[in-house]
Structure 1
Amino acid sequence: MIRLLSLLLFFCLPLAATGPAAAQSTASGVGGLGPRLDRAASDPAMRPLKTVIVARDGRVLSERGFHGHSPSESTNIKSASKSIISALVGIAIDKGLLTGPDQKIAPILKADLPAAPDPRINDITIGNLLSMQAGLDRMSGANYGRWVSSRNWVRFALSQPFVDQPGGEMLYSTASTHLLSAILTKVGRRPTLVLAREWLGPVEGFRIDAWERDPQGIYLGGNQMAMSARSLLAFGELYRNGGKTANGRQIVPADWISQSWQQRTNSRFSGDEYGYGWFARQIGGEQVHFAWGYGGQMLYIVPSLDLTVVMTSEESGPSARSGYRDLLHGLLADIIGSVRAA
């Protein structure tokens, strides 16, 4: 029943506008950015694109909604929410609820461990979950369906066989971030959504509209989270600004952002760097840190240019195999070129 109600929320989220969103503001020298985004969105290959927001140093340069979508409407940001889980872990460490990324997870989740677990389960750390290096078989891709069909997602994830050592190869798995949500729920003594709204609540414009839960009521760490493109921008701006709000309040420790953006491993699919819930690669000649969700839900941060860019897309198809994700990277490269030339 919990899952059904949660899924219904996603299908009933209101759309805030019926036409394209005009640019909220335009910085001097980047006046052609909005029309350039419009031209890019008119490419048939970019048909899934719903919204784009470009902000530099806290100022929105251009904001666009396409095909009847608006930057203010809720959308499922999918795995881009893994970066939000990472932020919550960093805050929990700062509050003393967790000791750090080297903390072992088995004592926290002991009630859900298998009866006769592989001894290596005692070696998995918070950091291993964040960097997708737990060693357990992946519960994403082909395995995702049977995982979310199980009666207890936490126990099912912990009962999977080891296919590598903890700290080994990157094994991208939403189960890893869901275990982090379960851990946050235990140490925070409140649901993860409540913690997120409390801890990230001071960030102006940030709001989680809906979020799926597992059969035990634990919010799905790293997937099925709904928020607007503007809300995702607010979260990105928090990270671009070193974890501080616009008025200078420290929300996420600056050191945690540095740790999260440090390369821990590489994706075996794309070769991209991966840290604690964040991808990284060179785009347009700049180092870019980004959150990426299924279908093309993108949050890009370009520290060297004080640039934050959000792109949301239809969630109906994969963005990697289709080449659509690379088109979004290309659009970001064009944006970077325009901003750099301004």
Structure 2
Amino acid sequence: MGTSILPALGQQSPADPSDKFASEVIRRLDQAIAERRVWNIHGLVVVRNDNLLVERYFEGQDHKRGVGDIGIVKFDPNTLHDLRSCSKSIVALLYGIALQLGKVPAPEVSLISAFPEYDLVNEQRSPITIHHALSMTMGTDWDETSLPYEDARNSEIAMDNAPDRYRYILERPVIDTPGMHWTYCGGAAALLARLISKGSGKSLHEFAREFLFEPLGMGPTEWAATPDGEPIAASGARMSVRDLAKIGTLMLHGGRRDDRQIVPAEWIRRCTTPIVSCDEMRRYGYQWFLLDVAFGKPKGWAVGRLERMWMAQGEGGQRLYIVPALQLIIALTSGNYGTDDQGIPPTRILREVVLASVS
């Protein structure tokens, strides 16, 4: 048996190495590193059935959002790490909390009407709702995938450089029917965070600390901001990999910790219900990726067992994988920023290291 990550969700130690699953994960991980099938991994936490089973840390080059290269870091359980776009999934949880508190409009409300200070209501924009921002289906002109983030034409960089980032997002031309197609959009998370701050009177990080991070028993956290003080909502969260795993535990427990409902259970369901396809494999809920994963020994043409997985995904190889049917959480931080092959190590750790160890 491993050390329980509930109810305290505090400072745990990894499982006894005699645990069969944990031992197999560690063996496969060490082999994958030795064979260079995974690289630049900074931290890995594996939780199953609320037990912390595997916890490994490494040393490597790291970057900090808004700062840049911070050199070689020796990672440990308390080291803060950029989550990059995993931040979007946390913003969605915060929106659900704020909605329950009556601080933000419901998903069905017109997005433009929630920002009356910009006076942008027109026939094209009026159909766009907050639901469309939550599901990245606003139908507006936005491109942050075909251009590198170093390119000023990238929509997220253009947003960061705009005199008013929220006006920039809201004024983007409507080029598709809202709700029809998914377009990856950091601007959507920025708008959601702005509504949280407007409604609560708190900064995004202050709200997160009070209503999510502290109730989960998290240690220190940060949320990067622009020079003018606006939160980098889409990619600015920083926390330890242990604390990232606590987000996964919260999700598996329907938003509860002990006897406290931190995020409404119905909101967890909405976040993890497929709304739109991203590509051939991934679907999208409210700022969470959803996909099926296969594992187990195949028989004949069969691929083995197939189960739904929830995923928060961040640039550089940051991942939070949650497989509800297995009560399994994999929290991973990495340093493969800006590389074309950055998705390979997390995928191999998921499939070849962890899921391959499930008996």
Task: With the length of structure 1 as denominator, give the TM-score of the two structures.
Answer: 0.85
- Name the structure 2 match of 1:176: 188
Q: Equivalent of 2:269, from 254, 258, 269?
A: 258
Corresponding position: 1:273 with 2:286: no
- Name the structure 1 match of 2:103: 97
CA contact (8 A) 2:39 2:345 kept: no
Corresponding position: 1:33 with 2:25: yes
CA contact (8 A) 1:108 1:186 kept: no
Q: 1:125 to 1:215 in 2, by over 3 A?
A: farther
Alignment of 1:80-119 (within 5 A): 80-114=86-120, 118-119=122-123
Cα separation, 1, equivalents of 2:91 and 2:256: 17
Alignment of 1:1-342 (within 5 A): 24-26=14-16, 28-30=19-21, 31-67=23-59, 68-114=74-120, 118-138=122-142, 140-141=144-145, 142=147, 143=154, 144-207=156-219, 209-214=221-226, 217-245=229-257, 247-268=258-279, 271-283=281-293, 284=295, 285-318=306-339, 321-322=340-341, 324-334=342-352, 335-338=354-357, 340-341=358-359
- Measured after TM superposition, the shift of residue 111 of structure 1 is 1.1
Q: 1:43 to 1:80 in 2, by over 3 A?
A: farther
CA contact (8 A) 1:203 1:238 kept: no
Cα separation, 1, equivalents of 2:228 and 2:191: 13
CA contact (8 A) 1:86 1:277 kept: yes
- Measured after TM superposition, the shift of residue 150 of structure 1 is 1.3
- Measured after TM superposition, the shift of residue 35 of structure 1 is 2.9
Secondary structure (helix, strand or coil) at the match of 2:179 reads: coil
Secondary structure (helix, strand or coil) at the match of 2:320 reads: strand
Percent identity reads: 28
Q: Which structure has more strand as a fraction of its residues? A: 2
- Measured after TM superposition, the shift of residue 151 of structure 1 is 1.4
Q: CA RMSD in A?
A: 2.1
CA contact (8 A) 2:46 2:328 kept: yes
Secondary structure (helix, strand or coil) at the match of 1:193 reads: helix
CA contact (8 A) 1:140 1:175 kept: no
CA contact (8 A) 2:291 2:310 kept: yes
CA contact (8 A) 1:113 1:155 kept: no
Aligned length: 312
Cα separation, 2, equivalents of 1:213 and 1:136: 25
CA contact (8 A) 2:255 2:262 kept: yes
> Which blocks of at least 5 consecutive residues in structure 2 are unaligned?
1-11, 60-73, 148-153, 296-305
Cα separation, 2, equivalents of 1:42 and 1:152: 48
- Output the amino acid matched with 1:69: F
Secondary structure (helix, strand or coil) at the match of 1:230 reads: helix
Q: 1:58 to 1:164 in 2, by over 3 A?
A: same
Secondary structure (helix, strand or coil) at the match of 2:173 reads: coil
Runs of 4+ in 1 over 4 A off after TM superposition: none
- Output the amino acid matched with 1:316: Y
Cα separation, 1, equivalents of 2:58 and 2:221: 21
Cα separation, 2, equivalents of 1:109 and 1:218: 16
Cα separation, 1, equivalents of 2:239 and 2:119: 33
- Name the structure 1 match of 2:5: none
Q: 1:207 to 1:131 in 2, by over 3 A?
A: farther
The C-alpha deviation readout for 1:183-212, integer Å capped at 9, x for no partner, is 111111211111111111443442562222
Task: With the length of structure 2 as denominator, give the TM-score of the two structures.
Answer: 0.81
Cα separation, 2, equivalents of 1:45 and 1:194: 40
